[in-house]
Structure 1
Amino acid sequence: MMYEGVFNPEFQQKDMPSKLVAALERISEVFKILLWEKAKVVGVSPIQIQILIFIAYHKQELCNVSHLAKEFNVTKPTISDAIKILDRKELIIKDYSSADSRSYTIQLSDSGKKVVAETYDFANPLKSQLSSLNQNEMESLFKTMSELIYKLNRNGILSMQRTCYGCKFYQKNKTTDYCHLLEKDLVRKDIRIDCPEFEQKPIGTA
Protein backbone atom coordinates (compact mmCIF):
# COMPACT_ATOMS: atom_id res chain seq x y z
CA MET A 1 0.00 0.00 0.00
CA MET A 2 1.40 3.37 -1.05
CA TYR A 3 0.43 6.33 1.10
CA GLU A 4 -0.15 9.72 -0.47
CA GLY A 5 2.48 11.36 1.71
CA VAL A 6 4.94 14.18 1.20
CA PHE A 7 7.78 11.83 0.24
CA ASN A 8 5.78 9.79 -2.28
CA PRO A 9 7.11 11.05 -5.66
CA GLU A 10 3.85 10.29 -7.45
CA PHE A 11 1.86 12.25 -4.90
CA GLN A 12 4.34 15.14 -5.07
CA GLN A 13 3.63 15.54 -8.76
CA LYS A 14 0.02 16.55 -8.04
CA ASP A 15 0.54 18.39 -4.73
CA MET A 16 2.67 21.55 -4.73
CA PRO A 17 2.94 21.91 -0.90
CA SER A 18 4.43 18.40 -0.82
CA LYS A 19 6.95 19.37 -3.50
CA LEU A 20 7.97 22.38 -1.42
CA VAL A 21 8.34 20.29 1.74
CA ALA A 22 10.50 17.77 -0.15
CA ALA A 23 12.62 20.63 -1.48
CA LEU A 24 13.11 22.06 2.02
CA GLU A 25 14.11 18.60 3.24
CA ARG A 26 16.80 18.43 0.56
CA ILE A 27 18.12 21.85 1.57
CA SER A 28 18.21 20.80 5.23
CA GLU A 29 20.46 17.92 4.15
CA VAL A 30 22.87 20.47 2.64
CA PHE A 31 23.28 22.12 6.06
CA LYS A 32 24.04 18.76 7.67
CA ILE A 33 26.66 17.95 5.02
CA LEU A 34 28.36 21.35 5.24
CA LEU A 35 28.39 21.27 9.05
CA TRP A 36 29.86 17.76 9.16
CA GLU A 37 32.63 18.80 6.77
CA LYS A 38 33.66 21.53 9.21
CA ALA A 39 33.16 19.26 12.23
CA LYS A 40 35.68 16.76 10.88
CA VAL A 41 38.27 19.52 10.46
CA VAL A 42 37.96 21.21 13.88
CA GLY A 43 37.07 18.16 15.98
CA VAL A 44 33.74 19.29 17.42
CA SER A 45 30.22 18.13 16.59
CA PRO A 46 27.81 20.03 14.31
CA ILE A 47 25.60 21.18 17.22
CA GLN A 48 28.70 22.38 19.08
CA ILE A 49 29.73 24.40 16.03
CA GLN A 50 26.25 25.93 15.85
CA ILE A 51 26.40 26.85 19.54
CA LEU A 52 29.80 28.50 19.18
CA ILE A 53 28.71 30.50 16.14
CA PHE A 54 25.50 31.58 17.88
CA ILE A 55 27.44 32.78 20.94
CA ALA A 56 29.83 34.71 18.69
CA TYR A 57 27.09 36.80 17.10
CA HIS A 58 24.36 37.22 19.73
CA LYS A 59 24.05 39.23 22.92
CA GLN A 60 25.10 37.51 26.10
CA GLU A 61 21.65 37.24 27.69
CA LEU A 62 20.66 34.86 24.88
CA CYS A 63 23.68 32.64 25.48
CA ASN A 64 22.42 30.31 28.19
CA VAL A 65 21.25 26.70 28.26
CA SER A 66 17.51 27.47 28.31
CA HIS A 67 17.60 29.83 25.36
CA LEU A 68 19.99 27.68 23.32
CA ALA A 69 17.66 24.70 23.75
CA LYS A 70 14.82 26.76 22.27
CA GLU A 71 17.05 28.20 19.57
CA PHE A 72 18.06 24.79 18.23
CA ASN A 73 14.83 22.96 19.06
CA VAL A 74 16.52 20.39 21.29
CA THR A 75 16.22 19.47 24.97
CA LYS A 76 18.10 21.23 27.76
CA PRO A 77 20.05 18.02 28.57
CA THR A 78 21.26 17.90 24.95
CA ILE A 79 22.54 21.48 25.19
CA SER A 80 23.99 20.86 28.65
CA ASP A 81 25.95 17.87 27.33
CA ALA A 82 27.28 19.94 24.43
CA ILE A 83 28.25 22.77 26.81
CA LYS A 84 30.09 20.32 29.09
CA ILE A 85 32.19 19.13 26.15
CA LEU A 86 32.90 22.67 24.95
CA ASP A 87 33.89 23.62 28.50
CA ARG A 88 36.15 20.57 28.81
CA LYS A 89 37.82 21.53 25.51
CA GLU A 90 38.23 25.09 26.88
CA LEU A 91 36.30 26.60 23.97
CA ILE A 92 33.87 28.52 26.20
CA ILE A 93 33.82 30.42 29.50
CA LYS A 94 30.90 30.14 31.91
CA ASP A 95 29.95 33.50 33.42
CA TYR A 96 28.20 33.18 36.79
CA SER A 97 28.01 36.95 37.40
CA SER A 98 24.18 37.10 37.19
CA ALA A 99 22.02 37.62 40.29
CA ASP A 100 21.07 33.94 40.24
CA SER A 101 24.25 32.09 41.26
CA ARG A 102 22.85 28.81 39.89
CA SER A 103 22.62 30.10 36.31
CA TYR A 104 25.29 31.25 33.93
CA THR A 105 25.76 32.74 30.49
CA ILE A 106 28.32 31.48 28.02
CA GLN A 107 31.15 33.36 26.36
CA LEU A 108 33.79 32.25 23.88
CA SER A 109 37.33 31.63 25.03
CA ASP A 110 40.21 32.57 22.76
CA SER A 111 40.29 28.95 21.54
CA GLY A 112 36.54 29.10 20.90
CA LYS A 113 37.00 32.24 18.81
CA LYS A 114 39.57 30.40 16.70
CA VAL A 115 37.08 27.58 16.05
CA VAL A 116 34.46 30.12 15.00
CA ALA A 117 36.98 31.73 12.65
CA GLU A 118 37.40 28.33 10.99
CA THR A 119 33.70 27.42 10.81
CA TYR A 120 31.52 30.56 10.58
CA ASP A 121 31.47 30.38 6.78
CA PHE A 122 30.22 26.77 6.57
CA ALA A 123 27.08 27.84 4.68
CA ASN A 124 28.92 29.87 2.02
CA PRO A 125 28.47 27.22 -0.70
CA LEU A 126 24.71 27.58 -0.30
CA LYS A 127 24.97 31.37 -0.20
CA SER A 128 26.94 31.39 -3.45
CA GLN A 129 24.14 29.50 -5.22
CA LEU A 130 21.51 31.92 -3.91
CA SER A 131 23.64 34.83 -5.09
CA SER A 132 23.03 33.71 -8.67
CA LEU A 133 19.34 34.68 -8.32
CA ASN A 134 18.32 38.19 -9.30
CA GLN A 135 17.27 40.67 -6.61
CA ASN A 136 13.53 40.22 -7.13
CA GLU A 137 13.83 36.44 -6.94
CA MET A 138 15.84 36.64 -3.72
CA GLU A 139 13.44 39.09 -2.09
CA SER A 140 10.42 36.99 -3.07
CA LEU A 141 12.06 33.83 -1.71
CA PHE A 142 13.02 35.61 1.50
CA LYS A 143 9.49 36.90 2.03
CA THR A 144 8.10 33.37 1.64
CA MET A 145 10.65 31.84 4.02
CA SER A 146 10.33 34.50 6.71
CA GLU A 147 6.53 34.22 6.69
CA LEU A 148 6.81 30.43 6.89
CA ILE A 149 9.16 30.67 9.89
CA TYR A 150 6.71 33.00 11.62
CA LYS A 151 3.74 30.70 10.97
CA LEU A 152 5.64 27.63 12.19
CA ASN A 153 6.47 29.52 15.37
CA ARG A 154 2.89 30.63 15.96
CA ASN A 155 1.71 27.04 15.48
CA GLY A 156 4.17 25.80 18.10
CA ILE A 157 6.29 23.77 15.67
CA LEU A 158 9.29 26.10 15.75
CA SER A 159 10.08 27.25 19.27
CA MET A 160 12.26 30.24 18.48
CA GLN A 161 12.18 32.95 15.83
CA ARG A 162 13.23 36.60 15.69
CA THR A 163 11.59 37.77 12.47
CA CYS A 164 9.86 41.12 12.19
CA TYR A 165 6.48 39.40 11.81
CA GLY A 166 6.61 38.07 15.37
CA CYS A 167 7.94 41.26 17.00
CA LYS A 168 5.92 43.63 19.16
CA PHE A 169 7.38 46.59 17.23
CA TYR A 170 6.04 45.32 13.89
CA GLN A 171 2.79 46.53 12.38
CA LYS A 172 1.19 45.34 9.17
CA ASN A 173 -0.69 48.09 7.36
CA LYS A 174 -2.83 47.72 4.24
CA THR A 175 0.02 48.25 1.81
CA THR A 176 3.13 48.58 4.00
CA ASP A 177 5.05 47.02 6.87
CA TYR A 178 6.04 49.35 9.72
CA CYS A 179 8.57 49.17 12.58
CA HIS A 180 7.67 51.22 15.66
CA LEU A 181 11.20 50.87 17.04
CA LEU A 182 12.87 52.27 13.92
CA GLU A 183 9.82 54.49 13.29
CA LYS A 184 9.80 53.84 9.56
CA ASP A 185 8.10 51.84 6.84
CA LEU A 186 9.85 48.60 5.91
CA VAL A 187 10.34 47.54 2.33
CA ARG A 188 10.66 43.80 1.69
CA LYS A 189 14.47 43.79 1.93
CA ASP A 190 14.26 45.53 5.35
CA ILE A 191 12.44 42.60 6.98
CA ARG A 192 14.85 40.82 9.33
CA ILE A 193 15.15 37.10 9.98
CA ASP A 194 17.27 37.48 13.14
CA CYS A 195 16.78 40.93 14.65
CA PRO A 196 18.98 41.95 17.63
CA GLU A 197 16.19 44.22 18.93
CA PHE A 198 13.46 41.57 18.57
CA GLU A 199 10.86 41.42 21.35
CA GLN A 200 8.15 38.75 21.18
CA LYS A 201 4.67 40.13 20.53
CA PRO A 202 2.06 39.13 23.14
CA ILE A 203 0.40 35.74 22.67
CA GLY A 204 -2.96 36.04 20.94
CA THR A 205 -2.05 39.06 18.82
CA ALA A 206 -2.01 38.75 15.03
Structure 2
Amino acid sequence: MVKRKTSNFSPEQQLVSLDARLLLALQRLSDMLKSMQWEQARALGITPLQLQILLFVGHHTTSITKVAYIATELQLSRPTISDATATLIAKGLLEMEEDRRDRRSYSLLITDTGRDLLKQAVNYTTDLDLLLQKKPEGEKSQLYQSLYTIIAGLSENEKGGMQRTCFSCEFYDGNKKRQHTCGLLKKELPSSELQIDCMYHSSLS
Protein backbone atom coordinates (compact mmCIF):
# COMPACT_ATOMS: atom_id res chain seq x y z
CA MET A 1 0.00 0.00 0.00
CA VAL A 2 1.33 3.43 -0.94
CA LYS A 3 1.72 5.59 2.11
CA ARG A 4 -0.27 8.77 1.76
CA LYS A 5 1.78 11.91 2.25
CA THR A 6 0.82 13.78 5.39
CA SER A 7 -0.47 17.28 4.75
CA ASN A 8 1.71 20.17 5.91
CA PHE A 9 -1.41 21.56 7.59
CA SER A 10 -1.99 18.49 9.77
CA PRO A 11 -1.07 18.64 13.49
CA GLU A 12 0.92 15.42 13.05
CA GLN A 13 3.17 16.99 10.42
CA GLN A 14 3.56 20.15 12.49
CA LEU A 15 5.22 18.05 15.22
CA VAL A 16 7.99 16.71 12.98
CA SER A 17 8.49 19.19 10.11
CA LEU A 18 9.96 22.69 10.35
CA ASP A 19 8.86 23.35 6.76
CA ALA A 20 5.27 22.53 7.76
CA ARG A 21 5.46 24.86 10.75
CA LEU A 22 6.86 27.68 8.61
CA LEU A 23 4.14 27.20 6.00
CA LEU A 24 1.43 27.31 8.66
CA ALA A 25 3.03 30.36 10.29
CA LEU A 26 3.01 32.25 6.99
CA GLN A 27 -0.61 31.23 6.39
CA ARG A 28 -1.66 32.35 9.87
CA LEU A 29 0.14 35.69 9.48
CA SER A 30 -1.59 36.24 6.12
CA ASP A 31 -4.97 35.42 7.70
CA MET A 32 -4.32 37.83 10.57
CA LEU A 33 -3.37 40.68 8.23
CA LYS A 34 -6.48 40.08 6.13
CA SER A 35 -8.64 40.13 9.25
CA MET A 36 -7.10 43.40 10.43
CA GLN A 37 -7.56 44.87 6.96
CA TRP A 38 -11.23 43.84 6.98
CA GLU A 39 -11.79 45.57 10.33
CA GLN A 40 -10.05 48.76 9.15
CA ALA A 41 -11.99 48.87 5.88
CA ARG A 42 -15.30 48.36 7.66
CA ALA A 43 -14.49 51.20 10.08
CA LEU A 44 -13.78 53.49 7.12
CA GLY A 45 -16.99 52.54 5.32
CA ILE A 46 -15.31 50.85 2.36
CA THR A 47 -14.57 47.27 1.32
CA PRO A 48 -11.17 45.57 1.81
CA LEU A 49 -10.65 45.62 -1.97
CA GLN A 50 -11.37 49.34 -2.11
CA LEU A 51 -8.88 49.81 0.74
CA GLN A 52 -6.22 47.89 -1.22
CA ILE A 53 -6.84 50.04 -4.28
CA LEU A 54 -6.62 53.26 -2.24
CA LEU A 55 -3.35 52.12 -0.70
CA PHE A 56 -1.93 51.29 -4.12
CA VAL A 57 -3.06 54.46 -5.92
CA GLY A 58 -2.07 56.66 -2.98
CA HIS A 59 1.51 55.41 -2.94
CA HIS A 60 2.37 54.91 -6.62
CA THR A 61 2.86 57.08 -9.68
CA THR A 62 0.24 57.50 -12.38
CA SER A 63 2.34 55.39 -14.76
CA ILE A 64 1.06 52.26 -13.01
CA THR A 65 -2.20 53.37 -11.38
CA LYS A 66 -4.24 52.01 -14.28
CA VAL A 67 -7.06 49.50 -13.97
CA ALA A 68 -5.24 46.82 -15.99
CA TYR A 69 -2.07 47.15 -13.93
CA ILE A 70 -3.92 47.12 -10.60
CA ALA A 71 -5.86 44.02 -11.72
CA THR A 72 -2.55 42.23 -12.33
CA GLU A 73 -1.10 43.55 -9.08
CA LEU A 74 -4.02 42.25 -7.02
CA GLN A 75 -4.58 39.14 -9.18
CA LEU A 76 -8.20 40.02 -9.92
CA SER A 77 -10.17 40.58 -13.12
CA ARG A 78 -10.39 43.98 -14.78
CA PRO A 79 -14.19 44.17 -14.37
CA THR A 80 -13.80 43.56 -10.61
CA ILE A 81 -11.24 46.36 -10.30
CA SER A 82 -13.29 48.64 -12.57
CA ASP A 83 -16.38 48.20 -10.36
CA ALA A 84 -14.41 48.90 -7.19
CA THR A 85 -12.71 51.99 -8.62
CA ALA A 86 -16.03 53.30 -9.95
CA THR A 87 -17.38 53.19 -6.40
CA LEU A 88 -14.30 54.98 -5.06
CA ILE A 89 -14.71 57.67 -7.72
CA ALA A 90 -18.39 58.04 -6.82
CA LYS A 91 -17.38 58.45 -3.15
CA GLY A 92 -14.98 61.23 -4.15
CA LEU A 93 -11.90 59.26 -3.04
CA LEU A 94 -10.39 58.77 -6.49
CA GLU A 95 -10.51 60.63 -9.80
CA MET A 96 -9.51 59.79 -13.36
CA GLU A 97 -6.70 61.42 -15.32
CA GLU A 98 -6.83 60.95 -19.08
CA ASP A 99 -3.71 59.68 -20.81
CA ARG A 100 -2.65 62.40 -23.26
CA ARG A 101 -1.01 59.83 -25.54
CA ASP A 102 -3.98 57.47 -25.56
CA ARG A 103 -7.40 58.95 -24.84
CA ARG A 104 -8.86 55.47 -24.36
CA SER A 105 -6.60 55.02 -21.35
CA TYR A 106 -6.60 56.76 -17.99
CA SER A 107 -4.80 56.70 -14.66
CA LEU A 108 -6.31 56.89 -11.22
CA LEU A 109 -5.45 59.71 -8.83
CA ILE A 110 -6.27 59.99 -5.17
CA THR A 111 -8.26 63.07 -4.15
CA ASP A 112 -7.70 65.20 -1.05
CA THR A 113 -10.62 63.38 0.59
CA GLY A 114 -9.09 60.05 -0.38
CA ARG A 115 -5.72 61.10 1.04
CA ASP A 116 -7.34 62.03 4.36
CA LEU A 117 -8.90 58.58 4.45
CA LEU A 118 -5.57 57.02 3.51
CA LYS A 119 -3.94 58.47 6.63
CA GLN A 120 -6.36 56.41 8.70
CA ALA A 121 -6.20 53.38 6.39
CA VAL A 122 -2.67 52.40 7.36
CA ASN A 123 -3.62 52.08 11.03
CA TYR A 124 -4.46 48.40 10.68
CA THR A 125 -0.74 47.54 10.69
CA THR A 126 -0.03 49.44 13.95
CA ASP A 127 0.17 46.34 16.16
CA LEU A 128 2.52 44.63 13.72
CA ASP A 129 4.64 47.79 13.39
CA LEU A 130 5.10 47.92 17.17
CA LEU A 131 6.11 44.26 17.31
CA LEU A 132 8.67 44.74 14.55
CA GLN A 133 10.14 47.80 16.23
CA LYS A 134 10.96 45.68 19.27
CA LYS A 135 12.92 43.13 17.22
CA PRO A 136 16.74 43.43 16.95
CA GLU A 137 17.97 44.73 13.59
CA GLY A 138 19.92 41.55 12.87
CA GLU A 139 16.86 39.38 13.45
CA LYS A 140 14.71 41.61 11.23
CA SER A 141 17.36 41.58 8.51
CA GLN A 142 17.48 37.77 8.46
CA LEU A 143 13.68 37.54 8.46
CA TYR A 144 13.41 39.98 5.56
CA GLN A 145 16.03 38.13 3.51
CA SER A 146 14.16 34.86 3.97
CA LEU A 147 10.80 36.40 3.05
CA TYR A 148 12.33 38.13 0.05
CA THR A 149 13.75 34.92 -1.42
CA ILE A 150 10.37 33.19 -0.95
CA ILE A 151 8.50 36.02 -2.72
CA ALA A 152 11.09 36.23 -5.49
CA GLY A 153 10.99 32.45 -5.95
CA LEU A 154 7.20 32.43 -6.29
CA SER A 155 7.39 35.38 -8.69
CA GLU A 156 9.73 33.43 -10.97
CA ASN A 157 7.01 30.77 -11.16
CA GLU A 158 4.50 33.49 -12.09
CA LYS A 159 2.81 33.40 -8.69
CA GLY A 160 1.88 36.45 -6.66
CA GLY A 161 0.81 38.94 -9.33
CA MET A 162 2.94 41.92 -10.37
CA GLN A 163 6.18 42.18 -8.44
CA ARG A 164 8.62 45.09 -8.73
CA THR A 165 11.54 43.21 -7.19
CA CYS A 166 15.24 43.73 -7.73
CA PHE A 167 15.57 40.25 -9.22
CA SER A 168 13.06 41.09 -11.99
CA CYS A 169 14.60 44.49 -12.80
CA GLU A 170 16.85 45.31 -15.74
CA PHE A 171 19.11 47.34 -13.44
CA TYR A 172 19.89 44.38 -11.19
CA ASP A 173 23.30 42.77 -11.43
CA GLY A 174 24.39 40.00 -9.10
CA ASN A 175 24.20 36.33 -8.31
CA LYS A 176 20.86 36.47 -6.41
CA LYS A 177 22.66 35.07 -3.38
CA ARG A 178 25.04 37.39 -1.56
CA GLN A 179 26.17 39.78 -4.31
CA HIS A 180 23.68 42.44 -5.40
CA THR A 181 24.26 45.63 -7.38
CA CYS A 182 21.81 48.25 -8.65
CA GLY A 183 22.99 49.66 -11.98
CA LEU A 184 20.64 52.63 -11.76
CA LEU A 185 21.68 53.74 -8.28
CA LYS A 186 25.24 52.56 -8.95
CA LYS A 187 25.63 50.91 -5.57
CA GLU A 188 26.02 47.50 -4.01
CA LEU A 189 23.03 46.36 -1.99
CA PRO A 190 23.06 44.18 1.10
CA SER A 191 20.41 41.45 0.96
CA SER A 192 18.35 43.33 3.55
CA GLU A 193 17.98 46.28 1.12
CA LEU A 194 16.65 44.29 -1.84
CA GLN A 195 13.33 45.82 -2.89
CA ILE A 196 9.93 44.20 -3.33
CA ASP A 197 8.11 47.31 -4.56
CA CYS A 198 10.83 49.52 -6.04
CA MET A 199 9.85 52.94 -7.40
CA TYR A 200 12.68 52.70 -9.96
CA HIS A 201 11.80 49.21 -11.19
CA SER A 202 12.17 48.60 -14.90
CA SER A 203 10.91 45.31 -16.30
CA LEU A 204 13.29 42.87 -17.95
CA SER A 205 10.76 42.22 -20.74
TM-score, with structure 2 as normaliser? 0.91
Aligned pair partner of 1:149 in 151, 175, 187: 151
Q: Which runs of no fewer than 5 residues in structure 2 stay unpaired?
A: none
> Hey, what's the Cα distance between the residues in 2 that align with 1:13 and 1:164?
36
1:128 and 2:145 matched: no
Aligned pair partner of 2:94 in 78, 85, 92: 92
After the TM superposition, which residues 1-206 of structure 1 pair with which residues of structure 2 at under 5 Å, given as runs?
Answer: 4-173=6-175, 175-202=178-205
TM-score, with structure 1 as normaliser? 0.91
CA separation of 1:37 and 1:179: change in aligned 2, threshold 3 A:
same
Contact kept in structure 1, 2:68 and 2:78, CA below 8 Å: yes
Identity %: 32
SS at match of 2:173: strand
Contact kept in structure 2, 1:147 and 1:165, CA below 8 Å: no
Measure how far apart 1:67 and its partner are: 0.7
Contact kept in structure 1, 2:142 and 2:192, CA below 8 Å: no
In structure 2, give the amino acid aligned to 1:200: S
> Hey, what's the Cα distance between the residues in 1 that align with 2:19 and 2:178?
27
Aligned length: 202
In structure 1, give the amino acid aligned to 2:197: D
> Hey, what's the Cα distance between the residues in 2 that align with 1:156 and 1:29?
22
SS at match of 2:108: strand
SS at match of 1:95: strand
CA separation of 1:11 and 1:105: change in aligned 2, threshold 3 A:
same
Q: CA RMSD in A?
A: 1.9
